[in-house]
A = this chain, B = another copy of it.
């Protein structure tokens, strides 16, 4: 039992504990896949935005019809759109979904409605007469009928009941979903089709349904052989939890004592490694590897990079070498990566430099994460315009319990029910987050904020630059000015004036480094450049 001697301040809070429910999936998809086909039925098709909207209306309509928490809503509907929507809309109003087999006889349906105590039933027109007969045969109170017509299939509405489309059209799409506070709450009631005796009502909970969906999602790719090289140190967020995950796939864990381009290329060529994670510095190693360290490979190698914002030029270099790179973002406090720059098919045809610029974004929330957003100092969502800056905050089940023996720091980190990352970012109109800087790495020059990440991204595009870092240098006139530290690639050359001119062509004058220093950059074991050391050097220049 993993209870430590002192677990004060390590309790469940809104920031680190969310009841598991499959409803989370649709909430996430409504933003993330807003314009993608979600539901198709003949000529009818709805996007995820519409799916979410219609489900919210259904929940709202049910609520207005007096359906409350724990009430049962039954359906007798074939696999048409209303049945899918009921799967989210019914639990979203706090109710329990009781889908009834469309082939059952009047007496059995009457038994189920009595036993389950359904307060409302959604019935496809094709099965309306059976449902009406069943309700007439009930002993207990009759549920209200909402009729689901399907004219295209030859089942126009009877006119005897409120029709589904009218029912939801009259409701608000702004209904606040009623999510479970305890994942043990019931989500569905399914009667077994016993061939003898009365059917039994199987009650399922939100937790199980959530785990079922995630488990199935994993299975959808099972069979692929996964061979992983452990580049991310396991002392850094437990190697992003990958070591704990590999057994799901029966994947192979390949050790990595020392991180070098040769070791990685050898593992890819000799061990068939097809997955790894690594900080951008690792990608940099590979892109700038010496010819004698490189190895040819003909399989796809997928790379997750995180730990610092990678420069677009490095991402472009990796793509050219045949790696499939996805950027992720997270912190030790979030078990590692909790956002990812998920690729969209519509970006496939962009020019390589535009692709690389997109790949440099930290992206959108991971399926397991409940929410990630960028907020201003008053904890309000910033404008998603790619310009306004704020702090990245998140909540969900993969947020730490808290800081050991430090309830004050824990409470501060979880202020307002979100974990505060300390990272400054913009959000693009599609919701993708892009880090501008660590709060402490922002350079303030003449009252203007300068993102060191932005300046570094430009410098990294220079053909001679292998690695760089930009920090604040104290300045009597401007307060601070950007100062660049640069490592050049072997066999290339560039001087200070050339690099300054290169940046000036591409950025506003005040963002251009006033000083460029050529030296090896101090790095942590996880490849993060130690900017606090460079700030010390810049101060002394």
Contacts and interface: CB of A to CB of B under 8 A. Distances in A.
B204 A70 contact: no
Interface residues of A, number: 161
Contacts of A204: 238, 335, 400-401
A233 interface: yes
Given A150-B257, A213-B245, A333-B192, A2 B187 contact: yes
A368 B214 contact: yes
Interface in A223-257: 223-227, 230-250, 252-257
A81 B210 CA distance: 33
A112 to B, nearest CB: 10
Interface stretch (A291-299, A312-320, A524-532): A524-532
A22 interface: yes
Interface stretch (A100-108, A354-362, A492-500): A100-108
A15 B97 CA distance: 23
Contact of A39 (B195, B223, B255): B255
Closest 8 interchain pairs by CB? A33-B250, A215-B368, A22-B244, A29-B247, A213-B245, A41-B255, A2-B185, A201-B404
A181 to B, nearest CB: 6
A237 B78 CA distance: 14
Contacts of A414: none
A335 B201 contact: no
Given A69-B2, A203-B400, A230 B84 contact: yes
Contacts of A245: 22, 25, 212-214, 216-217
A332 to B, nearest CB: 5
Given A1-B180, A201-B404, A222-B340, 14 more contacts: A7-B186, A10-B186, A25-B246, A25-B247, A28-B247, A38-B252, A39-B252, A39-B255, A75-B234, A100-B235, A190-B236, A200-B409, A207-B397, A216-B245
Interface string A69-93: 1101001111111011011100100
